[in-house]
Amino acid sequence: MKTVVIYTYDPAREADRAALRPKHLAYMSQLQDEGKLTFAGAWVEEPETPGALLLLNTENPEEAREWLQQDPNQLAGIVQNIATHKWNPTVGEVA
């Protein structure tokens, strides 16, 4: 099973997010190296509602939230909202 995660970032904290980007990407790379993260990426055309989509290899959304608690963006309070959804891919590369 996989968990889809949708981050919503605080638009007033863009400068902080940019400053933390190297640490955030290092943490995402660590999750990928551990086999926990399939992919992640930020929205590119929605500057008024910045956010990102992540796909995690988890048994349940609670596990995904636990892993993401150590994301530098979350630790700094830049993430305003986290939506998680259990997802069962049936077609495509991640199925």
State both tokens at 72: 């530098």
What's the pLDDT at 45?
A: 83
The answer as to whether 93 is a domain residue is no
Cβ atoms of 53 and 41 within 8 Å: the answer is yes
Q: Which two tokens stand for residue 41?
A: 């990426």
> What span, in angstroms and rounded, lies between the C-alpha atoms of 94 and 19?
31
User: Can you give the residue range of the structural domain that contains 34?
Assistant: 2-87
**Domain contains 66:** yes
Residue corresponding to tokens 């007033």: 12
CATH number at residue 57: 3.30.70.1060
Tell me what the mean pLDDT of segment 14-30 comes to: 97
Q: Is the residue at 95 inside a domain?
A: no
Could you tell me where the beta strands, DSSP code E, fall in 1-95? Answer: 2-9, 37-42, 51-56, 79-87
pLDDT value of residue 94: 86
In a domain, residue 28? The reply is: yes
* pTM exceeding 0.75: yes
Quote the number of domains for the chain.
1
Quick one: pLDDT at residue 6?
98
Q: Is residue 76 part of a domain?
A: yes
Q: Which of 90, 5, 17 is closest to 56 using CA atoms?
A: 5
How confident is the model over 53-80, as a mean pLDDT? 97
Query: Locate tokens 């055309």: which residue?
Result: 45
